[in-house]
Amino acid sequence: MSWDGKYLRKKPKKIIDNDDIFSDEECIDEEYYEEEIIVGDKKDDNFEECISDASKTNMDLSWKLKLPDEFANITFINNNTYSGRISRKMMEGEGVYRWVNGAQYKGTFEQNLMHGKGLLEWNNVCWYEGDFINGYRHGRGMMVDGENHYMYTGQWYKGLRHGKGYVIQNTR
């Protein structure tokens, strides 16, 4: 396995090239390794062979790609916006997504989709609150349509009313 990057244990005092560290006869000692950044293309198996057995026990040699979870405010090309948690460059966790037309979703996201509990509002009098799975109203939820004097509380399946539920409609 080849890796082009930096091995970093703590804040470096200086940056040096691989050629300055490795030689045929000697290996890095742990103290020296912790104070430096090794820059360049180095195969992981060769790197492990060069570290003495004694220092292997004190070092974590597993390299994992980690992108930090963070809070972001994003405006998309179509002028929709997102404000909330991102992870692995995706909407993930709690957030608010607003469409240009005024609709908004407040709730949890998973891999850029509405997923978990949330509130989807189309305008001041029309909304859905409940469960979402993979971007669909799915599970238990309540939808209120104030413009048409209509309310449904019950089960949803992939965005459609499905299963047991109650409808209340006022014809005025």
Q: Tell me whether residue 80 is in a domain.
A: yes
The model's pLDDT over 65-112, given as tens digits with 9 standing for 90+, comes to: 455 678 999 999 999 999 999 998 899 999 999 999 999 999 999 999
- pLDDT for position 170: 83
Find the largest Cα–Cα distance for the chain: 91
Residue 143 lies in domain: 70-169
- pLDDT for position 7: 46
Q: What is the CATH number of the domain that holds 111?
A: 2.20.110.10
- Is residue 163 within 8 Å of residue 155, measured between CB atoms? yes
Q: Tell me whether residue 15 is in a domain.
A: no
User: What DSSP assignment string belongs to 91-129?
Assistant: EEEEEEEE-TTS-EEEEEEETTEEEEEEEEEEETTEEEE
Q: Tell me whether residue 129 is in a domain.
A: yes
Q: Tell me whether residue 50 is in a domain.
A: no
Instruction: Give me the numbers of helices (H) and strands (E) for the chain, helices first please.
Output: 4, 12
**Residues near 113 by Cβ (< 8 Å), separated by ≥ 6?**
91, 132, 134, 135
Q: Tell me whether residue 27 is in a domain.
A: no
As a whole number of angstroms, the distance between CA 72 and CA 63 comes to: 26
Answer whether 0.85 is exceeded by the pTM: no
The tally of domains found in the chain comes to: 1
Q: Tell me whether residue 99 is in a domain.
A: yes
Q: Tell me whether residue 120 is in a domain.
A: yes
